[in-house]
Amino acid sequence: MITSETEQNSALQGLDLTPLIDIIFIVLVFLLLTANTQLLSLPVDVPTEADASLSALSHDKHIAINILTTEPHWAIDGTTYQSFDEFEAEFIKIFGTDPEVKVVVAADKTAPVQPLMNVLALLQRQQISNTQILMEP
């Protein structure tokens, strides 16, 4: 005799979990999209001027500009200057005697960025392109 279906087979066919899984995925997507995520950022004070070109150090005659970690931040060939105005006046005077001399900027890696940006802006204002930035290989 052929029987159509037993009670156990009909119970297994009647329990379909696909709609339940669909609802769980929709709720999961909804929760992921509406959750407030905390944006991680670092407080960075961006320098006011930034324009520089880097190249290797040459052995030609040069003016060495040093950017130091502590006040005073600026030095020319080992001589420090208390303010940027004094530094700028002395640099223009020294550079005016020999405009073909190379300018080498050597900044301490822990020095603030703003004094370096001031020096680079000075070089740009004076239209000095014969400049090198000293870096360790």
Task: Enter the pTM of the model.
Answer: 0.54
Please state which architecture CATH assigns to domain 62-133: 2-Layer Sandwich (3.30)
Nearest to 134 by CA among 62, 78, 70, 82: 62
Which residues are 79's β-sheet partners?
76
Give the tokens for residue 70: 């502590």
Contact 87, 63 (CB under 8 A): no
Higher-confidence residue: 36 or 69? 69
pLDDT of residue 12: 59
Q: Whole-angstrom Cα distance, residue 108 to residue 38? A: 35
As a whole number, mean pLDDT of residues 115-123 equals 88
Q: What residue ranges do the domains of the chain occupy?
A: 62-133
Instruction: Lowest mean pLDDT of 42-46, 70-74, 87-91, 133-137, name the range.
Output: 42-46
Tens of pLDDT, residue by residue over 65-107, are: 888 888 888 888 878 888 889 989 998 898 888 888 888 888 8
pLDDT of residue 130: 80
Reply yes or no on whether the pLDDT at 27 is more than 90: yes
Give the tokens for residue 40: 């991680």
As a whole number, mean pLDDT of residues 38-66 equals 53
pLDDT of residue 26: 94
**Pairing assessment for the beta strands 131-133 and 102-107 based on DSSP bridges:** parallel
Give the tokens for residue 110: 């822990």
